[in-house]
Structure formats: C-alpha cells, structure tokens
Structure 1
C-alpha cells in the first residue's frame, strides 16, 4: 500500500493537489494560501502525505517545536489532521497513514505523537476514537471541553501552554484568530466578513502569521479560534448558522 501514497515536497508542491479542495483549472485562493504556507513549513520537517488520487485522503503533522499550536513539549510530533472521506473510507487508508506517522516518529527518535481532541468528538478535529485505538490518551485539558491527546513512547508527555488555558480576551466583539494552514479558512473568513458587514456585527480578524503568535494564543488552536464577548467559543470553522448561534449568546 505504501506505493499508493506520496509526500509533498518542495519539488512537487506546485503540481500536486492538496486534498481538501481539489481544483484542476481555476485556482482557489484558499488552496494557494495553503500552498504558500506549506512551502515555508516543509523545510521545518512538516509532513503532508496523501493518497496518489484525486481524493481527500491524507495526514498532516509536524515537529511540535515548529507546530503552529499553543502546545509545548520535547521531541514530539503534532498531528494536525488525518482525514479520509467519501468512498475511500473503510479501505485501510487511515490506518496506513497513521502507521506511517508512527513509523516516521520512531525512526526519527521522537518521544511520541500528540493531537487536539475533545471530551466529545467535535467537527474539524480528527477522529479521536480512531486515534485512541493507536494508544492516544488524554494528557491535558482546556475549557470548554478540549483535550490534548498523546501517545508517548518514553513516558514523557506534552501539555497545553499555560496561555492556551486562559480562554478570555479583552475584546468583546466577535474575534477570530486564524492562520492559512487549512484551505477552507479563506472562504470561512469571507462568509463571516460578508455576514457581519450586512448585519452591522462588529468583527475582528487576527491572522496568526508567525510561530510565536501561535504558541502565545490565549486558547487551544488547530488553525482557527473564535471568541465572542471576550470568551473563547470554538476551534470549529463557522458557517452562517453556527455564527448566528454564537451571536445569540
């Protein structure tokens, strides 16, 4: 099965699709933003491995020290995303991708692998029940209901940075922190921007454009975080229906 997968590299990045939003002709701004983000991350050891088909079947992970998340620890990999969708489910691709990540971590002498989870499975997070089959366990928590899951090879564990547990900011208006790691972020930003403009809802967008900013965020983060009335709400990307529910609070 290994021959069915390819890793993105600096050499093939411009020519390979990025799985989430597959476009063969007209460029997609979210995809191109992700491509640029990846071009800066790949030299840092970031891994994007995908099925060699026009499909959403991939895993994405990076050394924790350079992962754009407010998680700290020594010598870990951080797993951003493992996604298998549509007719490709149930064929062993997810297992193969996770096994590749584990083998890569052990070959490089890593202490383990960690990922963002939750007490109850949330959308836009990888399937934690699947991850727990590989030995991932909760090693830290943050409100509201988020967990840091880790599989340790040597008994050490990572943790959320103390600032990630604050969950509050001074700004009372709708505030969204985001980076360009996910191709869907661009369209989510535009959807929210247009709705707020049409309905006179004050909103602040804060792009997380450096590793330091990501590590210092006042909440858990995978590539997106929403605050309202000073309180952290979610890492889920928003559609209009979800946004309306938040604004009713």
Structure 2
C-alpha cells in the first residue's frame, strides 16, 4: 500500500490502480493516517465488514490493511504512534477492537511488533506456499473475534499446479512485482 510513496510515479500502472481502488474504498469507510513530512509512514484501515482480507466476523472491528514505516523513520516509534491513532479512532467509533493479518518474511508487519502492542493471535493459517499467516486482534470488549474464512483455502485449492498469483489493486507495488 505504499501509495503515498508512489507520488513520483503518478503515471505508473500501480499508482493509477491504487487511486481507483482508494476512491471506491473511501465510500466504505477506509481511513488513512500519514506521518507528517519529512517522516515516511502511514496506516490504512477500514471497518471489518469491508476488509480486503479473507476474514469473517470482523464487522465490529477496524481492520488494518497496511501499516508502513520506511527509511530513516523506521525504529523511531512511528509504527506505535500510527497504531495509537487507529486504536483511538476505533474506541471513539465504538468498535469492539482492531485486527490485522501478519506474517514474517513478506510485506506485512511482524507478529512480534503487534504482540508488543498487546495484540493476540486468534487464528493461524499455515498455508501451503502462502503462509504462515496470523490473524491478530486487539480486543476492547469481550465477544467474538474475527476468523479466517474458508475462502483463502478454496482459492488456493482451485489454483493450478505451479505458481499462481492472487492480487488486488490495494497495493501499488503489486503491479511491478507481478509483471
């Protein structure tokens, strides 16, 4: 979702796809909070019913699509600051909590970072070639937590043998990575 770091590439396919994707998602309640310049980072989250991840029972949660801090801004506490903003927004909005999918070794934030903030793993998907993924939740109230849907497993099982790419326009870097 490094859309804001794509400003210098406004004519790129990834930028244009992300722009169209954002315009549609804002109508669903998508929120983006950016660090002030010269820092480089942002958080993108949405009401759980509209999350672009294979999850269920997340309607009362905010779901973080992307938390991204890069360059010299890393290691300065900015990810925690951005999480603070999201959590406060979720509390003010009467949400049950905040959720995010995490994984090591790819473009997602680490489980360890979310655990240090108080998130707990509520479900894991080991995956075949996809995983492992953790569904992490920071609950404010007791009740049902989000879960992975069977959709991810069905999608993977329908894929042909070999290399299959499942993507969306949510991340502008995917255009470059999948071409």
| Superposition TM-score tier, normalisation by shorter sequence | 0.7 to 0.9
Contact 2:67–2:109 (CA under 8 A) maintained in structure 1:
yes
- Corresponding residue for residue 163 of structure 1: 151
1:71 and 1:30, CA in 2 relative to 1: closer, same or farther beyond 3 A?
same
Largest Rg, 1 or 2:
1
Which consecutive segments of 4 or more residues in structure 1 shift more than 3 A?
none
The runs of 5 or more residues in structure 1 that have no matched partner are 1-16, 191-249
Give 1 or 2: higher helix fraction. Answer: 2
* Deviation of the 1:99 alpha carbon: 0.2
How many angstroms does 1:68 deviate by? Answer: 1.3
Unaligned runs of 5+ in 2: none
Match of 1:36 in 2: 20
Alpha-carbon deviations, 1:79-125, whole Å to 9, x = none?
1111111111233322211100000000000011111123xx22211
Which of 1 and 2 has higher RCO (CA within 8 Å, sep 6+)?
Answer: 2
Partner of 2:136: 149
Please report the RMSD computed on the Cα atoms of aligned residues, expressed in angstroms.
Answer: 2.0
Instruction: Verify the 8 A CA contact 1:72 1:159 in the aligned structure 2.
Output: yes
Counterpart of 1:71 (choices 30, 33, 55) is 55
- Contact 2:48/2:60, CA 8 A, preserved across alignment: yes
Shift of 1:55: 5.2
Aligned residues: 171
What whole-Å deviation, never above 9, does each CA across 1:39-83 have from its counterpart, x for those lacking one? 000111101111232653110111110111110113111111111
CA deviations over 1:181-237 (Å, ceiling 9, x no partner): 1010111121xxxxxxxxxxxxxxxxxxxxxxxxxxxxxxxxxxxxxxxxxxxxxxx
